[in-house]
Structure 1
Amino acid sequence: MNIKIKKCTLVDSPKLQEISYETFNETFKHQNSPENMNAYLERAFNLKQLEKELSNSSSQFFFVYFNNEVAGYLKVNSNDAQSEEMDDESLEIERIYIKSKFHKHGLGKYLLNKALEIAMESNKKKIWLGVWEKNENALAFYKKMGFVQTGAHSFYMGDEEQMDLIMTKTLI
């Protein structure tokens, strides 16, 4: 088992778009209408949007490779790149996605540990993320990893309002 992590750059935007579409579809298409899925994918993962996010110095993307194949990715945000107003002592995990064929290999935990490492290197006091209230697998995973629900916010999938639970882990 060979796991590697690589920081993404602008050159990686087409590959990032491809894995973003694939993993988001795998995760959510069975619970959302095709119209809302397509609207969200087009808005969130068009190349111009991804290039803008990759160019933001307060955001970082990482690919995780499993046996030399891109298996998933991580996006973390600090400062004003966070999707909710948080203090400077917080780091947001905006996205952790693993292709379904690579589930159960510990890659989600691997990426979460990378985010924790970044948070500690940056002297952050807490790390947080938003999880769709119906994503039971992710909720169970984050609870197991020491996150607790500290709030909620609306998330729009196309024109449908959904609820994300905000989960936070305090760092020592």
Structure 2
Amino acid sequence: MRRAEIDDADVLSRFARRTFSHTFAADNDPADMAAYLALAFSPERQRGELAEPRRTGLLAELDGALVGYAYLMSGTPHEAVVAAHPVQLERFYVDHAWHGRGVATALMEAVLCASREGGGDVLWLGVWERNARAIRFYARWGFAAVGTQTFMLGADPQRDAVMRRAL
């Protein structure tokens, strides 16, 4: 586990596109997927996000290969999240080949540690209401649903559950 640096943007861009596609492509319109992937995961966008002072990127690597990543963002929470020092878990993805092998557990432990070290008192996230596997995972880590929000995938407005847990 290590902190992401701006030099990781190209590798992270490719990994993020692949894992997001693997997770969501089968359930979404290809045009909406293509639009979102181009917007959210370009190398330039990753460089900009990694340079953001309020954002922390965490990379899970095995033998020099990226197998998972998470993005944290300090600051203003969703309206349903009450906290003095909220931290948003913006992204949390593990390569499909590594599901069920402990990578997600190690990455979540790193997320919780980094959130606490950054002074956070609540960790919150948005997760697609149709992503039952992720919702179960977050519930096992003590997250509870507190609201909903809209997530735009291309031109498709989708509903996310907003979940939170105390740190």
TM-score normalised according to structure 2 size: 0.93
Where does residue 32 of structure 1 map in the other structure?
28
**Pair 1:158-2:154 in alignment:** yes
Q: Identity over the aligned pairs, expressed in percent? A: 28
Which stretches of structure 1, 4 residues or longer, exceed 6 Å deviation after superposition?
none
Q: Do structure 1's residue 116 and structure 2's residue 78 form an aligned pair?
A: no
Q: Could you tell me which residue of structure 2 aligns to residue 147 of structure 1? A: 143
**Contiguous gaps of at least 5 residues in structure 1:** none
Aligned match of 1:138: 134
Any conservation in 1 of the 2:70–2:107 contact (CA below 8 Å)? yes
Aligned residue in 1 for 2:102: 106
2:43 matches 1:47: yes
- Paired amino acid for 2:123: I
Residue 130 (structure 2) pairs with residue 129 (structure 1): no
Gaps spanning 5+ residues in structure 2: where?
A: none
**Per-residue deviation at 1:33?**
1.0
Give the CA deviation at 1:51.
1.2
The structure 2 residue matched to 1:97, chosen from 93, 98, 103, is 93
Deviation at 1:26, TM superposition (A): 0.7
Q: What pairs with 1:80-95 in structure 2 (closer than 5 Å)?
A: 84=78, 87-95=83-91
Cα shift at 1:88: 4.6
Q: How many residues align?
A: 165
Alpha carbons 1:93, 1:129 under 8 Å: kept? yes
**Normalised TM-score (structure 1):** 0.90
SS in 1 for 2:111: helix
Instruction: Find the counterpart in structure 2 of residue 71 from structure 1.
Output: 67
CA RMSD of aligned residues (A): 1.5
